[in-house]
Structures are given as C-alpha cells and as structure tokens.
C-alpha cells in the first residue's frame, strides 16, 4: 500500500499515488480503468466526508479485482461513539482502509485518544483533518499513538478553496514528513486540480486525493471525467518515471 522504490545506493523514494473518490461500482471500475491507484467510496451529496450505505461500499469493493486498494469514508461525526461505530461498521465491508473525518471537536489529542480506545486497532483507520478548520498539525503524533495507520488533510467546505490556498507548502511538507517519520501513510486532498499535482507530489505524500477536480465541469456531485482521471494518472506516472531515471543516474 505504501510504495517505496529503492535505487542502487539503497535510498528509498516514496511513490505518490492517485486516490479517486467514487459513488458506485460503475465509477469504481471507470476510475480503475483510467489509472486510479486507490478507489475511495464516498457520497459527495452528504458533505465532505459523506458515508455511503454499507451495501454500496460492499458492492464497490466487490466490483474490483482482488488486490486493488480501496477505502471508504465513515463520516465526520463529532460524537466519538457514533463515529467509532460507523467506522467499525464500514470496516466490515472488506475495504482496505476506513477514513474518519475529525471535525473541530475531534481534532484534538483527547478526541483522538478516545477514538483510538474505542477503535482499539480493529481496522485500518485513516484520520482526515480539515485544513479549513485549523486543526493542530501536531496532532499527527496523537494519531500515531492512538493506532491510526494514516492521516490525510482535506477540506470540509467544498466551495472552491483548495488545500494549497489554506496551508503553505512548508506546512504541507511538514505534515507529510511528520507522518513519514512516525510510519503513518499520508494523503493530501481538498478541491485539488490536476495542475496541483506537480508541486504536491514534490512533497512525497503517499496519496493525492481527488473528486471534484476529476469530475465533468469540476462538479464533485456530478460524473467522473475519464479523460481527467487519465490525465492525473499520467502526470503522477510521469513524475514516478522521472524520479526513477534520476535515481538510476545518481546511483
Ligand atoms: O479524498 C478525496 C476527496 O474525495 C476529495 O474531494 P474533492 O477533490 O472534491 O475535494
């Protein structure tokens, strides 16, 4: 799931992969066919981290070939018990990862610790922090302590403000580096566009996450645009290849 390439000097380079949020199995297959690396089940009509019904998540997961990395969103409830219950239910669908949105009340060490105790390492949980709600980025240590396997930054207000409008490249880079140092997977998302890929991939997150930027007319509630998915996948692939060549030349 975390892709690392080694060059001849033994140095490891993180490979940034493409996460695409889908609403059903038809979109899941389309995203996969056009180059998505991780298929993320999410209901864009139900907010930034809207959960799909369990049956839909199961059908998305089952529609994909074995071995494809999947995730599903469990919502962004401010109540520990409700959020944990939702996450544990989503974990029964067979998806590789379950994403939990940590809103203002949860995005603090006490909230994270309470959630961790309730989840008790029963799944592969990824915490999503909303950059437009000013989460403490130092929360990464508490997430690691609480047993999360990954952390993502996203945005809660999907009104055109993108992740790089909210945080500087230094802040995003530190977030990714802190995750890596603690062995957490990292992801960056939030109304990203294809033209954001180069500068964000340069920070070496494990995933860049997209919905609206890969939909027709940029409408995250509308249909995925296969050409846009293909362009995003191609861009990331080109970056991977150029790094490989650089690594080989340096070796
Ligand atoms: O996890 C990725 C999200 O689905 C991103 O959605 P968005 O690109 O519409 O902000």
- Each domain of the chain, given as residue ranges in start order, spans 16-243
- Note the Cα 155 to chain centre separation in Å: 12
pLDDT tens digit sequence for 133-145: 999 988 999 999 9
Does position 9 have pLDDT exceeding 70, yes or no?
no
* Mean pLDDT (whole number) for 56-63: 97
- Cα(21) to centroid of ligand 1, in Å? 6
What pTM was estimated for this model as a whole? 0.92
| Sequence-ordered list of residues with C-beta below 8 angstroms from that of 217, at least 6 positions apart, any chain | none
Q: Is the ipTM of this complex over 0.95?
A: yes
pLDDT band with cut points at 50, 70 and 90 for residue 244:
confident
Q: Which of 118, 97, 115 is nearest to 106 (CA)?
A: 115
The CATH code that applies to domain 16-243 is: 3.20.20.380
Q: Which residue has the higher pLDDT, 107 or 251?
A: 107
Q: What is the pLDDT of residues 147-160, one digit of tens each?
A: 999 999 999 998 88
Element (H or E) spanning 53, and its range?
none
DSSP class of residue 108 equals S
Output the residue whose Cα is nearest ligand 1's atom 6.
211
pLDDT above 70: residue 10: no
How far, in Å, is the centroid of ligand 1 from the Cα of 42?
A: 9
What spacing in Å lies between the alpha carbon of 247 and ligand 1's midpoint? 31
Task: Report whether pLDDT(11) > 70.
Answer: no
Which residues line ligand 1 at a C-beta cut-off of 6 Å? 19, 21, 40, 42, 154, 158, 189-192, 209-213, 220
The DSSP H or E segment spanning 37 is none
Look at residue 8 in the predicted model and tell me its pLDDT. Answer: 46
Q: Check: CB of residue 150 under 8 Å from CB of residue 97.
A: yes
* pLDDT band, very low/low/confident/very high, at 33 (cuts 50, 70, 90): very high
């Amino acid at each position: 799931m975390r892709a690392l390439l080694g060059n001849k000097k033994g140095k490891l380079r993180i490979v940034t992969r493409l996460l695409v949020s889908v609403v059903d199995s038809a979109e899941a297959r389309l995203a996969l066919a056009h180059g998505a690396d991780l298929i993320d089940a999410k209901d864009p009509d139900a907010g930034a981290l809207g959960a799909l019904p369990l049956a839909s998540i199961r059908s998305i997961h089952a529609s994909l070939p074995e071995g494809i990395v999947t995730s599903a969103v469990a919502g962004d409830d401010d109540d520990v018990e409700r959020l944990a219950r939702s996450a544990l239910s989503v974990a029964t669908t067979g998806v590789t990862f379950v994403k939990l949105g940590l809103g203002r009340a949860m995005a603090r060490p006490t909230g994270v610790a309470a959630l961790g105790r309730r989840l008790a390492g029963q799944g592969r949980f990824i915490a999503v922090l909303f950059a437009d709600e000013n989460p403490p980025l130092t929360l990464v240590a508490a997430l690691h302590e609480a047993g999360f396997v990954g952390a993502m930054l996203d945005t809660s207000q999907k009104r055109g403000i993108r992740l790089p409008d909210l945080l500087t490249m230094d802040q995003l880079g530190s977030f990714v580096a802190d995750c890596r140092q603690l062995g957490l997977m990292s992801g960056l998302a939030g109304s990203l566009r294809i033209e954001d890929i180069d500068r964000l991939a340069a920070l070496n997150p494990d995933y860049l996450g997209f919905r609206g930027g890969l939909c027709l007319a940029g409408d995250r509630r509308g249909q995925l645009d296969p050409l846009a998915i293909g362009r995003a996948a191609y861009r990331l692939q080109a970056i991977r290849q150029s790094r490989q060549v650089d690594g080989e030349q340096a070796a």
